[in-house]
Structure 1
């Protein structure tokens, strides 16, 4: 681990206040460059499959990653610093339920402001509950002002969306554009109001998402297909994290189309 228990506590406090924290220079850049090379054919296939109906808005593509090397990397999904922060804000024994990417290309636009999940108890018209669904994001390139930085708000993960939208409309709620370097990791509460922005360059801007949820939460639209041979080789921590995902034969590893299509709330 890079950080002490006291530092993990501090990250958790910042997360609970702001809805996110960023660990700078956390993953080796050469490792992520290998991810980028392996990802490009998957992106090309995803663009072809979704041509004319991109699944995240104009020229923006959500592509699930197969649970195979280099993407099935325990040095990342079992990272003790990341898990220590997750466990402090979302409880013990979290579930890893998502391994995917979001990539805007040239021609993409601003998304509507949204969160990635509805409130846990929508009938209460109140979002003020502890965190239950987290996204761990890291880019496969440097994220600049030009290639589609993530725009978000701080503290809105526990606010009513109507109040948030009023603050965005009248300018009283600040908007933060988050630039990230290759190797940076963001841990965020998916309830916070945010949006994707245009990529104005000729180069795709892939952002990886690992989804972690509380041990009792199941969202059927997201899952990781774990190859049977890979399951047998997982560490005890890996088996605990992936315990709620389907274990499949190699022939059934890849799904024909993306199932996670309703993403904005």
Structure 2
């Protein structure tokens, strides 16, 4: 797997299949994550695997959007033609290589500690004609502005693009290093979109098969999709276990629970299992 910066421009280590990162590659990956708040890992999946996920996703989205009484799983997000969908923990979305990819698990254990938990499983789609979202972060500093200095990472989102992410189809824009910004009390009412104009950003342009791990505090936004196809990614959120929060929608079907190995069950231990 190729480990790169958010701009996906730096050469990285190469490892394929189920192999874990060796000590040097893991160290470089963690350094990039600490410095920029995000790291991209190429070749995590082959094209056929992503094609299977995309076909299943498109079918599920079509079903949810055509539900007679509407869908509670599909909701609009900030910006025109942007939606999110809560994902069911069913195959192929609940497959071990999706929810507990070995290299992702390796990095998460180093960043969050070995006792981390999944707390949310979502997805984001930008349809043709989508607009810029407001710059935002998925979680603020744990202690707000009270501490005055950044803490270690407490939450990470895994993004699995289900298509190539390009300038044309609205690849995510990120502000590297912004995860280390602790708001001053004087900035409490300032919009991040206004503050971000003074900072350098990068576009999350990566091919099918690549994945990204992002600190939840990192400033980012969706951008206009000027292509003729939907730009979609899965978004799985993991956090330190002591935070204790989880989405009420995160529930594990009993059949899925029984199929998972014990290390995956541990990651989802906070979610109820449904008969």
Question: TM-score, length-normalised on structure 1?
Answer: 0.86
The question of whether the paired residues in 2 share the 8 Å contact of 1:3 and 1:81 is answered with yes
Counterparts in 2 of 1:215 and 1:223: CA distance versus 1, 3 Å = farther
Deviation track 1:122-154 (CA, whole Å, cap 9, x = no partner) reads 251646011011001011011111111110111
Matched-pair contact (CA < 8 Å) for 1:90–1:133: yes
Alignment partner of 1:33 is 2:42: no
- The partner residue of 1:99 within 121, 133, 140 is 121
Cα separation, 1, equivalents of 2:40 and 2:115: 22
Give the length in aligned residue pairs: 247
Q: For the structure 1 residues 222 and 25, does the alpha-carbon distance in structure 2 shift closer, same or farther, using more than 3 Å as the test? A: farther
Deviation string for 1:32-80 (max 9, x for gaps)?
10011111122224445379x7234321110112111111110232222
User: What is aligned with 1:128?
Assistant: 150
RMSD (CA atoms): 2.3
Match status 1:63 vs 2:85: yes
CA-CA distance at 1:221 after TM superposition: 3.4
Per mean C-alpha deviation after superposition, the further-off stretch among 107-116 and 38-47 is: 38-47
CA displacement 1:218-257 (0-9 Å, x = unmatched): 33436521111221222110111110011113xxxxxxxx
Give the match's secondary structure for 1:216. helix
Q: Which runs of 5+ in 2 are unaligned?
A: 1-18
Instruction: Show the counterpart of 1:73.
Output: 95
Contact 1:137 1:187 in 2 (8 A): yes
The aligned counterpart of 2:266 is 240
User: Any stretches of 5+ residues in structure 1 without a counterpart?
Assistant: 250-265
Distance (Å, rounded) in 2 between the aligned partners of 1:47 and 1:57: 18
The DSSP-based 3-state class of the residue aligned with 1:96 is strand
